Structure 1
Amino acid sequence: MGNQSFEKKNAIKHVSRLKVLSFVLFLSVFAVNAMADTSPIVTGWVEKVAIPEYNLTLKAKVDSGADSSSLHAVSIHRFTKNNQAWVQFRTQDGIAIQKPVLRIVHIKTKTKGTQAREVVELPICLAGQLTTVPVNLVDRGHFSYPMLIGRSAMEGKFLINPNQKFLTEPKCGSVSRKTS
C-alpha cells in the first residue's frame, strides 16, 4: 500500500508538471502570435491611400524624410464655427471638405522660407490599416503625388522599401472614386 501511495503522488506531480508545461507552451505560442501581429507592414515609396470618409483614393509618396503628412488642397479658407477655427478646401478633383483646424504649423520650404499651413485630422487607409493622421494643407499641384505620408504617421506601423512602388492596397472599406 505504501508503494501505491508513492506512485499515486508521483502521478499527481507528473500531471501537475504537464499542466504547467502546457500552460507555458500556450503562453509562448500566444506571445509569438502577438509579436507577429504587431510587426511593421512593408510599403513601397509610393502607395495608394484611401480617405474613406470622402470615398477618395489617391497616390501618396511615403517619405521617412518628412516628419509630417500633407495633402494637396486648393481654395483654402479659414472660418469660425461654434467658436472654433475651421477650414474649407478642395482636393485636386474638386471634392469640398470642411474640417476643424487642429493647429497651424510653420513649414520651411526651399523657395518661400517659412509657410503657415492649417493642419486637420483625416482618417486614412494605408496598406489595409485605418488610422487618423494629422495632415497639413498645401497646394501640391507642382508635385507628382497629391499626398505625402510623413514618418509621424508611419511610426511603429510601416517600413518603406525604397526600391518598390504599390506593394499594398488601401482596403479598409468601400472606396470607389479614384484620382491620381
Structure 2
Amino acid sequence: MKQLTTIGWREWASLPEWGVEVRAKADTGARSSAIDCSKIEELPGNRVRFTIRLSRKTNRDLTLEAPIAMRKHVRSSTGHGHDRLFVETILRIGGREKSILVSLTCRQRMIHRMLLGREALSGDFLVDSGVDHWATPRKKKRQ
C-alpha cells in the first residue's frame, strides 16, 4: 500500500513547471482543482494562454501557455455552472510531486488563490484539518 503524505487544510503549493509557489486550500468537498487566473485566451492548436497573479499585493503577473488537457462543465460553490479549460502541471507539496489537472478560472474574490480538489489529493495526500501551514512563514530562497 502506498504511503500517504499528510498535509494541512491550507498549504504552500509549488507548481515547478511554471515556477510558481502559491498558498492553496485542500478542499475534499471539491472534485477538481482550480487556480486564480485572468486573461484566459484560447489559442490555435488546442492551447491556452493565461495570466497568474503572483501576488495580490503587487502587480507582478506571470503569463503562461499550455496545451488544453480537458474542457469540462464545473459547478462552483455558489451552484452556478461554468465551462472551464483544464491544463496539466506538476504539483509539489511536502516533498511529494504529482501530475494534476487544474482548471483556469477567476478566483479574485476568493480567499484562496488555489483550490486542491479530491482528484489532485486522492491516492497521495491525507488532509489533516487541524493543520494550517499558512501560519508557517516560508523561508526566502537565497539567490
TM-score using structure 2 length:
0.84
Alignment partner of 1:56 is 2:34:
no
2:130 corresponds to: 163
SS in 2 for 1:67: coil
SS in 1 for 2:120: helix
- Are the aligned partners of 2:72 and 2:83 in contact in 1 as well (CA < 8 Å)? yes
**Pairs within 5 Å for 1:19-168:** 38-80=2-44, 84-93=45-54, 94-111=61-78, 113-166=80-133
- Are the aligned partners of 2:50 and 2:65 in contact in 1 as well (CA < 8 Å)? yes
* Separation in 1, partners of 2:109, 2:7: 24
- Greater Cα shift, 107-116 or 140-149: 107-116
Larger Rg: 1
What stretches of structure 1 move > 4 A for 4+ residues in a row? none
- Are the aligned partners of 2:5 and 2:96 in contact in 1 as well (CA < 8 Å)? no
SS in 2 for 1:57: strand
Map Cα deviations across residues 80-110 of structure 1 (whole Å, 9 max, x no partner): 1xxx311000001210110011111111135
Alpha-carbon distance change, 40 to 110 in structure 1, aligned in 2, over 3 angstroms: closer
Cα distance, 1:113 vs structure 2: 2.4
* Separation in 2, partners of 1:88, 1:107: 20
Map Cα deviations across residues 8-42 of structure 1 (whole Å, 9 max, x no partner): xxxxxxxxxxxxxxxxxxxxxxxxxxx5xx32111
SS in 1 for 2:22: strand
Percent identity of the aligned residues?
26
1:5 corresponds to: none
> Which amino acid in structure 2 is aligned with residue 39 of structure 1?
Q
5+ residue gaps, structure 2:
55-60
Alpha-carbon distance change, 40 to 66 in structure 1, aligned in 2, over 3 angstroms: same
- Are the aligned partners of 2:22 and 2:113 in contact in 1 as well (CA < 8 Å)? yes
> Which amino acid in structure 2 is aligned with residue 46 of structure 1?
R
TM-score using structure 1 length:
0.68
Select the structure that is richer in helix. Answer: 1
5+ residue gaps, structure 1:
1-34, 170-174
- Are the aligned partners of 2:32 and 2:117 in contact in 1 as well (CA < 8 Å)? yes
- Are the aligned partners of 1:99 and 1:120 in contact in 2 as well (CA < 8 Å)? yes
Select the structure that is richer in strand. Answer: 2
CA RMSD of aligned residues (A): 2.0
